[in-house]
Amino acid sequence: MRPAGLRPAWFVAGVLAVLVAVTAGLAFGSISMPPGDVAIELLNLIPGVHLRSGLSEREVAILTELRLPRVVLGLLVGAMLALAGAAYQGAFRNPLADPHLLGVAAGAGLGVTAVIVLRPAGEASAGLPIGVPMAAFVGALVAVALTWVLGAAGGRDRSPAALILAGVAVAAFLSALQTFLLQRHVESLREVYSWLLGRLGTAGWHDVLVVLPYTVLTAAIMLTQRRELDVLTVGDEEAASLGLHPQRSRYILIVAASLGTAAAVSVSGLIGFVGIIVPHTLRLLAGPSHRSLLPLSLLFGAAFLALTDLLARVVGGAAEIPIGVVTAFLGAPFFIVVLRTTRSAVT
């Protein structure tokens, strides 16, 4: 039976979720603003539109220069992490595959840490250097390659359990290398530690502009492969009999998902569980077909992280809670539920 495509109702719901997340993320915080006035001020960003929002000049400056780049960055990071999680789960045929569980985030983190601690002395730390996403991508790709190779150790079949255990081992090894680098460069410890906890607080338009090309490219690649993902779910032999090249499609998806994860990690730090929570929730509600799952993961992943960032800002007050702590608090029990419901697949 042909997999169902993206239903318009779900697409509209995803767009509405993004709009609600953007409006809430801009309106609430240490200084709250009326959501209606915020929505009007957003319309004023459209060329040729001039409406009276009722916001003061100070509030407009806070909205456009501080909150808007942070919310936009949250949308990009959330979309990438959720989309990558859905792509990894389909490519590996593993319901527990996630950028963090496969060691991909640890590899990207090692790449970013290397750039931070090895940059020339005196170089400004504000803003994201252009080369950071590429360094994170190289680290992520090395990590997923090691996980893929180690997952086949002792046999040709890469079972879900073998891949997860391989990912844990690779992440531990790369984290040890990261610790070694930090011990040799203790002057960068605070900066790297703050980054490791996951944060969007220092985001500016510079970070958004650096990560945007990677986001657009990887999202486009993964979305064009969503039909291939549906075919891969039936198995490599069956997929090949249908005219698909399973390994080539899998490699394309893995490279694209790794690049997207690396770009997200490079600007936000290690934010976990987004790639588990969003795709699995959507599978339960909207169905398992990747023709709908991938675009919906992009939309709802963006909304999820923007709202999570708002929660981190509001609950923490002046002492803002790192967003990685919030996603871990939400994701750890969710992962336990997923593990229990899929235990037959990880034997």
Can you tell me the distance from the alpha carbon of 320 to that of 301, in angstroms, rounded to the nearest whole number? 22
Q: Which residues of 179-216 are buried (b: 16+ CB within 10 A; e: fewer)?
A: eebbeeeeebeeebeebbebbbeebeeebbebbeebbe
Does the pLDDT value for residue 216 go beyond 90?
yes
In whole angstroms, give the CA distance from residue 117 to residue 55. Answer: 42
Statement: residue 315 has pLDDT above 70? yes
Whether residue 37 is contained in a domain is answered as: no
Would you say residue 224 lies in a domain? yes
The structure tokens 């780049």 sit at 69
d(CA 100, CA 98): 5
For the residues 24-50, what does the mean pLDDT come to? 89
> Rounded to whole angstroms, how far apart are CA atoms 134 and 73?
18
Average pLDDT score over the chain: 84
Residue-level pLDDT at 144: 84
* Locus of tokens 């600007």: 267
Name the residue with higher pLDDT: 258 or 317: 258
Number of domains composing the chain? 1
Residue 69 lies in a domain: no
Least confident residue range of 50-59, 141-150, 236-245, 255-264 = 236-245
Decide which of 96 and 214 is more confident. Answer: 214
Taking residues 294-319, report their average pLDDT: 90
Q: pLDDT (tens digit, 9 = 90+) per residue, 128-175?
A: 556 677 888 888 889 988 888 887 765 555 566 677 788 889 999 999
Better pLDDT: 207 or 197:
207
Question: Which pLDDT band holds residue 201 (cuts at 50, 70, 90)?
Answer: low
- Alpha-carbon 59 to chain mean position: 30
Q: State which of 79-88, 92-101, 133-142, 159-168 shows the largest mean pLDDT.
A: 79-88
Residue at 226 is within a domain? yes
Both tokens assigned to 30 = 């240490």
Q: How far apart are CA 102 and CA 85, in angstroms?
A: 10
- Taking CB atoms within 8 Å and a gap of at least 24, the contacts of 331-339 are 331/272, 331/273, 331/274, 331/276, 331/277, 332/273, 334/273, 334/276, 334/277, 334/280, 335/96, 335/273, 335/276, 338/95, 338/96, 338/276, 338/280, 339/96
Residue 259 resides in a domain = yes
Q: What pLDDT, on a 0 to 100 scale, did the predictor assign at position 1?
A: 44
Instruction: Say if 6 falls within a structural domain.
Output: no
Token representation of residue 309 = 């960032």
* pLDDT over 70 percentage in the chain: 89
Q: What is the model's pTM?
A: 0.87
Q: What is the pLDDT of residue 206?
A: 82
The domain spanning residue 258 has which CATH number?
1.10.3470.10
Contact in structure between 105 and 328 (CB atoms under 8 Å): no
**Angle at CA of residue 287, ends 281 and 292, nearest 5°:** 95
Mean pLDDT of 208-216: 88
Return the amino acid letter for 46.
I
| C-alpha torsion 202→268→108→331, nearest 10 | 150
For residue 113, tell me if it sits in a domain: yes
Average pLDDT over residues 87-103: 82
pLDDT band at 27 (very low <50, low <70, confident <90, very high): very high
* Segments forming the whole domain that contains residue 325: 77-345
Tell me if 206 is assigned to some domain: yes
